[in-house]
Each structure stands twice: as structure tokens, then as C-alpha cells.
Amino acid sequence: MSITARITNTASRTGAPARLATRAHAWAYRRLRGRGVARWFGADVMVLETVGRRTGRTRSVPVIYVRDGDDLVALAANAGLDVPPSWWLNLRDAAHGVAMIGTERRTVRPRVAQGEERERLWAKLVAAYPPAADYPRFTDRVLPVVVLEPVREGA
């Protein structure tokens, strides 16, 4: 098991400190337009904006992603915790969000990859961020591979 996977899984269990670190990363990403903070252990990071399902407030969170054509692909792993990440629950319930990559902002619609597509995208995610391969060892839940499709104007 990779030490990075173990560290991120353990750090995610810290509650408030983990939330503060996430907020600080998202703030720095927006402020610096991604410069210097757009990677996490070698993987590309975007900031995903969602609407809180309980609060109705805008939430911003850094998320590792890979590109697949025009789509962005993220893993709703929560570092392998038994509960899914809030960004995924918010995005699923709202049925749309905004992905920020550097200075680019795009409205996206989520869907969960299934079957052969899921396996192909899982392999891309693990190639970009190898510690993700260890996250299923920490939990019994199936980790959603989330495809973020761009929403075209007028669609």
C-alpha cells in the first residue's frame, strides 16, 4: 500500500483540519488562478463548485481529475473513507456544477461511469494518481468514477 494513500486516508479522518486544508487549497487555487496549486502528488487538480444540498450555499473543493475527450473525470473516493465526499453528494443532487481549471470555468453535468467505461476511466485515474489504487482497500463501498460532461449553452 502506498504511503500517500495511507496519509491521505488518515488525514481525511481528521474532520475540521481536513476541511480547513481543503478550503485553503480551493481559496489559493481561485486566488492564484491555479498557478502553483493545480497539482496534488503529480495529479492535475481542478476546483469544483457545487451547491450544498442542505445549506444551498456554494461550496468549492479541489478535486483530482483526468481528461477524457471533452469530459473531465473524477473519483468520488474521499481518500477511501466509508462515506462519500460531500462534493459528490452535492453535485449528484444538484445535477450540475462548475469546474474551474486555471482561469477556465465550465458548467458540467455529472454521471457515474459503468461497466467497461468505468474500468477504462479507473485505469486513467490510477495512472494519473497511483495512490487511488489503494483506496478500495479502506472501504467496502464502490467508489464512483464521475464523468463531468460539459453543458453546452442552450442545452
What DSSP string runs through 33-69?
Answer: TTTTTSEETTEEEEEEEEE-TTT--EEEEEEEEEEET
Structure pTM? 0.81
Q: What is the pLDDT of residues 135-155, one digit of tens each?
A: 999 899 999 999 999 998 765
Mean pLDDT of 119-134: 95
Q: Smallest Cα–Cα separation from 115: which of 142, 136, 134?
A: 142
**What is the pLDDT at residue 96?**
96
Answer whether residue 39 shows pLDDT above 50.
Answer: yes
- Grid coordinates given for 56: 444551498
More confident residue, 26 or 131: 131
Q: What is the pLDDT of residues 80-107, one digit of tens each?
A: 889 999 999 999 999 999 999 988 999 9
Question: What three-state secondary structure class fits 74?
Answer: strand
3-class SS letters over 93-127: HHCCEEEEECCEEEEEEEEECCHHHHHHHHHHHHH
DSSP H or E segment with residue 151: none
Confidence tier at 42 by pLDDT (50, 70, 90)? confident
Percent helix, strand, coil in the chain, to 5, is 40, 30, 30
Q: Nearest 5°: CA angle at 64, between 105 and 30?
A: 40
Mean pLDDT of 109-133: 96
Answer whether residue 116 shows pLDDT above 90.
Answer: yes
Alpha-carbon Rg for the chain, nearest whole angstrom, is: 15
Answer whether residue 9 shows pLDDT above 50.
Answer: no
